[in-house]
Every structure is written in structure tokens, then in C-alpha cells.
Amino acid sequence: MPIIRVALNIPVDTLFDYQATDATGHDVGLRACVPFGKKWLTGIIIAVSSETQVPPEKLKSAQDIFRDVAPLPVALLDLFHFCSHYYHHPLGMVVMNGLPGKLRGNKPIKLKESSNNYQFSLTKTGKQIELSSIPARNRVARRLFTELNHSAVLTRADAKQISPRALKLLKEWIQLGWVSIIPVPAVTLPKTAKIPHLTHEQQIAVNAITIEIKQFNTWLLHGITGSGKTEVYLRIIEQVLAQGKQTLVLIPEISLTPQLEATFRARFPTTHLVSLHSGLNDTERLSGWLQAQRGEAKIILGTRLAVFTPLPHLGLVIVDEEQDSSFKQQDGLRYSARDLAVFRARQTDIPVVLGSATPSLESYYNALNGRYRSVRLQSRAIENAALPMIQCIDTRTHKIQEGLSDPLIKALDKCLAEKHQSLIFINRRGYAPVLLCKSCAWTATCQRCSSRLVVHLRDKQLCCHHCGHQEHFPRACPHCGNQDIAPFGQGTQRVEDALAARFPDARILRIDRDSIRRKNAWHNILQQIHAQAVDILVGTQLLAKGHDFPNLSLVGILNSDASLYSTDFRASERLFTQLMQVAGRAGRANVAGHVLIQTEFPDHPLYHALQRHDYDALAQTLLAERKMAGFPPFVYQALLRAEARNIQVVLDFLTQASHLAKPSQSIEIFDPVPAQMVRLKGMERAHLLVQSLSRRQLQEFLAKWVTQINTLPTHKVRWVLDVDPLEF
Ligand code: ADP
Ligand code: ZN
Ligand code: ZN
């Protein structure tokens, strides 16, 4: 009797054996539903064998093997295996993390997606029919007909909502010639854009990559903002499409998908494109995933999870904004989609292109030492589009009122007079970051997190931006009873108010996570900006990434100093990237750009490098610092993270774990320390850092160590290993 070995979504890194009468070797990669304890679980068949270590009396039978969807391709299973080994995470959990939700359930799926791809519409003949010619007693028919008359098209779902009988009626009407079937357009097709002539630099980049299009290379496409990296992607994709192959494009933010999707569709109007991101519902995601798996979708555009899409004809991988931290998952399986993208490309022997204006120091270093191939775009693609002029406003000499300095206000005035758009960047939403009692210095803090509550004046609420906790504004200081409590510091809402007071005629639009909550908010915002219906934008880093605002000429940056002297060794790198991105929004077309940074430290090397647009200078400085201090990319790190209700329990657990580790020359083990933010959502957190000069030795160490940690009593402690951690 054949035995199937199944990876299940449980925190134990082992396969489970079951009898399955009808299983064959071809079933590897299929889902199987099996009994587990008192429950049923669905997992992936990793192997089919004729023997097992499980004694016959304990061996159970699989309930079902689902053959609704083709088995996962071997390459994808290999990716899951690699991911499980590298991140020391149970295989079953890795697999289930990567599969669409609908495939994780204990039932086979019903595929009716193809039938969802059409809609119904009245024909010319249909439109001439009088409603009165349908007998009044035939209520369903009348309603259906009225609906068809009112709305241009009706989807299957619309029809079904009217009545289960509606589809049958529609079929009759199709035969009568009243109704026609039309395919659902994926999205409204944009006007086909003109294809620009490549700049000299773009041409060199495209040539370099396409000459070696059929083999593995990691390309670092290092191009300043506005240098036209997208056009380079498009030209390479064109080559890959010509071979009939698929391209996977990973992007950091779901908010960027519509813009990029429109660009891709305009360039390749007849190419089958799917986008896979967290904004989709389960059905949509499954549908896109299946189109990719069947090889129908040629361009797959997605956020980090899309790296786990089965792609039988993969020919190219692109990771746009490769430095972005959203490529790293920050809970559960802490994988880096960028690094897995490189693995996939190597596995398939195809190129991977990492694009960025400010590469991560890891990638930059890899390009320096020849592991990655570097291609650079040093000037802006559009003729006459110069880089913006960047200046610091010294806030020690210029007075600040409500967050704004005089020079910035003057510049805004000028910009308004010239009918150009401006952007004020402040990376903090809400009205003010602190509620302060002026007499005893009490501040409002979150009960469940070690953080301050942020003042949201309009809702009269205090909110924790870490756990979502909200409470009413207190009338008086809960500590001393004084009524003189007031918001302290600036957030986007406060700056918006200050601007509205100073520029009553200007049209001001705030963009942060609070203002884009509504459905379609992003879409509307972008439309308003492009229609010149906005004069001043106020926003957080949501605004910084990738968007192209042709009429924007002034960028003001407030409150960025805090990150200059952070204890996090990556803070400078992140700040630089962020400021380069925001600054890059200015002066993208024919409008000259100007960037003003309000700072107390105008002579800081970071601002100097920024003013000269000199990424390399800063990168070299930071790399030298990291080398001295022994930080990545010169060492490889892993973090054992643990949490419990009580910090002492966590620290004790970590101490025990560190005692399990055998000291060795190649592995450095640090003392357990509380996390930067000790309390989060009611849990107290700490971690233990291990590092090594050798990735291989670190991996070997971790494999043994994790097995040992698994034997510790973890009473009340939750732990996880974070390989290549980005946050501490
Ligand atoms: P990046 O992603 O490198 O910041 P984009 O790809 O957004 O830059 O390109 C910036 C602008 O330059 C876009 O408006 C794009 O249409 C335009 N562009 C790109 N390549 C060319 C070219 N060869 N000639 C003219 N315009 C170009
Ligand atoms: Zn007080
Ligand atoms: Zn909180």
C-alpha cells in the first residue's frame, strides 16, 4: 500500500506519513486532507513511498487527495525547501504561508473562474424590446430586463443576485438575440503610450542585460529617481515575452500597483497580466495564482507574497525598489522576498534585476565585490529634467511656527504664485505625537505597548499606532489633575491645519494612512493630483515612493532629524533612502525642483551627501562604519526573538537558549536584551543576537541550535528565529 509523506501547517518540522490506496509518484505536490489528532488538516504531499517508520497499528489513512489543481511544480517545492532550511521554519508552515487561502482548506475547490470572465449586455434588438411585452407575472424576467436596461453590463454575480433563475433566462435571451456576451476587461485599458527613444544610459543597461537574457545573473539597476528604470524593465520584459516566457515583477507597495499595472498594460495591451497583492480577496488571488501556474499569465506583478507563485515558464525576475523593507515579512516566517527572488533566478538560470535609486547596502556591497553586476543610470530620462536643488534650513537660527519656518513659507508662497504643486513631508500621522501635561510632564501612554499615544484631534481620540488602541481625550491630567494638557509636536493633521490657516486659498490634500482608508481613496487622490486640483500635498512616506507628479516643484521636509542619531544601525540608510525618494518627487518633468530640509544639523554628512545627490559618498561612509563596527553586510546575523507576558520570563528563556549554544570561534553570541519597544500589544519582548563572518557557518550553527531550543520547556514563551533581521 503506498504511503504519502505530507507537510502540514503545524509548528513541528517533520513530515507525516499516511496510507493512501490510490497514490502514485505523480501525486507529489498535490494537497491531501489527513486526520491529525482529533482534527482534519490539509497539507502538501512531499513524497510517495512504499515504506514508513510508523508502526502499522498507528498508521492512519489519508482522507482524500485533491486533484482539482495541478501539483505544485518541483521548482516551487524546491523553493519551499530552501526557504524552510534557510529560515529554519517548518516546511509545512512555509508551504501553507505561500499558498492562496483557498488551497489551504479541507475541501477541494470548485473552479468556475473562467465563467466569471464574461458579462451580459443588451443588444440593439434587445434595447428595442418594450418592458410591457414581458408578462407582468414573470417578475424575475421583468426585473432582470430592467436591470439590463439601467446598467450597461451585468456580471454573472449580478444576475445571480436577482434570481437563481436569471442565468437560464439570459441564455434564452441570448438565443433570441436580445442579449450578447462580452468578455470582462481586466481593467479599463489606458491609452497606448508613446514608446520613448532610450537614453544612451538606458540603452547600455538594456543591452547589457539582454545579451545574457538566458542565464543567471543578479543585476543591480542603480538609477537615480526619474532616470527611467521602468522603461528599462519594459524593454527587457519585451525580450522575455518574445521567447514566450513569464516575468515576475515584485514591487513593495500595493498602492503602487495600479500605476505600474497601467504602464505595463499600455505597453503590452495583448499580454496576459495578473497582479497579486494583499488587496485581493481569496477568489481573485486564487484565480491569478492559477493563471500563473498554468503558464497563461505572462506578466505577474505582485507584492512580496507573489515570490511563491508557481511559474512554469519563468524567464525573468524584477524586484523594483529592492531596498524596501516591505520585502521582508515581519511576522511568522520572516523571509526576504528579494533574497528568495535571487534564489529563484539562480535555480531557473535566468536573470534577476534589482532596481533602486538607493540600493540597500547589502546589494551595493555585492555589486562592489562583483557578486552582482551593476548597471547605472546617472541622469534623468526626460530631457531638461534636472535634479532638484536641495538646501537645509537651519532651525537653530530660523524660528519655527507650527512646524513651519519662514524660508519654507516664502517658498510655498512663490510656488503657489507660479501655480506649481508643493509637497510637505512629515513622517508622522495624526495631529501630534504626544499629549503632555505642562505642570507635571505626564504624557499619555499606551497600556499595552511601550509607546506614547498619538493625538488625533479631529476624532477627539488618543490612538496607539502600534496596537490600534483608542481612548477619549482626558479632560485633565490623570496624574496631577491640572487642566493644562496640550498636544506637543507635529503630525500630518497639525501641519495641514497650519497650512490651511497660513494659505486659506490653497487647495491642500493630506495623504497618510488615515486619509487613504476609504476604498478607491488612492485612485482619487492620484487623479486629483494629476488634474492639478491640489496645490499643497501634506503626507507621510506613502507619498514618497515611485509616484510621478509632473507639476511638483517644491518639497519641504520636516522633523527628519530624529533618525540621525538613532541606536538602530540601519536608521541612517533608511533616512537617506526616504529623503532621496521624497526629494526625487520634485522636478520630474519640465518644472525645476527645489527641496528644503528643516534641520538642527545642517552640517551632518547625511544632509551633505543628500545635497550633492551623492549616494556613493554616503554608502562608502556607512560601509566603512559598518566594517569597523562589525555590522552587516560584513557579518551575517540571526535574531532569536521571544515574547511573553513578563519580560523576566523572556530573558530567562533566552539565557537558557544561549547556554545551549556551544561557544565557537566562528559564532558570536550576544547577551539577551529587551527589544527597542519592550511592550507590544500586551506582550513583553526581548531577543538574542548571533552573528558570524560566514553565512555557511551561521547556518550550520542555527540548524543545530534550533533543534536544541525546541527541547526547552517554552512554557508561556513564544519564540521565532529571524535570519537576516532588519528590525531590532
Ligand atoms: P524611475 O523609476 O527611475 O524613478 P521612471 O521610470 O518613473 O523613473 O521614469 C521617469 C520619467 O521619465 C517617466 O515619466 C518616464 O515616462 C520618463 N522616461 C523614461 N524613459 C524615457 C526616455 N527614454 N525618454 C523620455 N522619457 C522617458
Ligand atoms: Zn500633570
Ligand atoms: Zn499600543
Mind listing the pLDDT tens digit for each residue in 670-693? 999 999 899 999 999 999 999 999
Assess whether pLDDT exceeds 90 at residue 479: yes
Cα dist from 531 to 191, 262, 419, 528, 534, whole Å: 17, 17, 13, 5, 8
User: Which comes out higher in pLDDT, residue 87 or 528?
Assistant: 87
pLDDT tens-digit series, residues 252-278: 977 667 788 888 988 998 889 999 988
Q: Find out whether 554 and 589 touch, Cβ atoms under 8 Å.
A: no
Cell triple for 312? 512554469
Reference 374, options 172, 224, 217; nearest CA is 217
- Tell me the CA–centroid distance for residue 469 and ligand 3, in Å: 6
Ligand 1 pocket member 193 (CB < 6 A): no
Taking CA atoms only, the protein residue closest to ligand 1 atom 21 is 381
Backbone angles phi, psi at 382, to 5 degrees: -75, 135
Give the closest ligand to the alpha carbon of residue 226: 1
- Stretch 290-311: mean pLDDT, rounded? 95
- Tell me the CA–centroid distance for residue 678 and ligand 2, in Å: 25
Assess whether pLDDT exceeds 90 at residue 75: yes
- Tell me the CA–centroid distance for residue 545 and ligand 1, in Å: 15
- Stretch 131-156: mean pLDDT, rounded? 84
pLDDT for 113: 47
Reference 507, options 533, 525, 527; nearest CA is 533
Number of alpha carbons in the 13 Å side-chain half-sphere of residue 206: 20
- Number of Cβ within 10 Å of residue 410's Cβ equals 11
In the chain, % of residues over pLDDT 70:
96
Taking CA atoms only, the protein residue closest to ligand 1 atom 23 is 198
Backbone angles phi, psi at 273, to 5 degrees: -120, 135
Q: Spell out the SS3 assignment of 307-375.
A: HHCCCCCEEEEEEECCCCHHHECCCCCCCEHHHHHHHHHHHHCCEEEEEECCCCHHHHHHHHCCCCEEE
Ligand 1 pocket member 231 (CB < 6 A): yes
pLDDT for 180: 78
d(CA 542, CA 572): 19
Ligand 1 pocket member 355 (CB < 6 A): no
d(CA 87, CA 334): 7
pLDDT for 111: 66
pTM summary value: 0.87
pLDDT for 115: 46
Ligand 1 pocket member 494 (CB < 6 A): no
Mean pLDDT across the chain: 91
Cα dist from 626 to 532, 573, 622, 633, 681, whole Å: 44, 11, 6, 8, 33
Strand order of the β-sheet with 299-302 is 273-276, 299-302, 246-250, 314-320, 351-356, 217-223, 373-377
Ligand 1 pocket member 198 (CB < 6 A): yes
Query: Looking up cell 559618498, which residue turns up?
Result: 617
Cα dist from 632 to 84, 222, 413, 623, 694, whole Å: 22, 20, 45, 9, 11
Atom of ligand 1 nearest to the CA of 193: 16
d(CA 340, CA 345): 9
d(CA 723, CA 705): 13
Query: Looking up cell 424575475, which residue turns up?
Result: 140
Pairing of strands 673-680, 683-692: antiparallel
- Tell me the CA–centroid distance for residue 483 and ligand 2, in Å: 8
Lowest mean pLDDT among 111-120, 326-335, 356-365, 453-462: 111-120
pLDDT tens-digit series, residues 238-256: 999 999 999 999 999 776 6
d(CA 20, CA 30): 13
What are the beta bridge partners of residue 643?
685, 718
d(CA 189, CA 718): 49
pLDDT tens-digit series, residues 618-656: 999 999 999 999 999 999 999 999 999 999 999 999 999
Taking CA atoms only, the protein residue closest to ligand 1 atom 15 is 228
pLDDT for 116: 54
pLDDT tens-digit series, residues 79-96: 999 999 999 999 999 999
| DSSP one-letter code for 701 | H
Cα dist from 375 to 210, 355, 361, whole Å: 12, 10, 16
pLDDT for 386: 79
Ligand 1 pocket member 381 (CB < 6 A): yes
Look at the chain and count its residues.
728
Atom of ligand 1 nearest to the CA of 202: 23
pLDDT band at 529 (very low <50, low <70, confident <90, very high): confident
- Tell me the CA–centroid distance for residue 462 and ligand 3, in Å: 11
Ligand 1 pocket member 649 (CB < 6 A): no
pLDDT for 588: 67
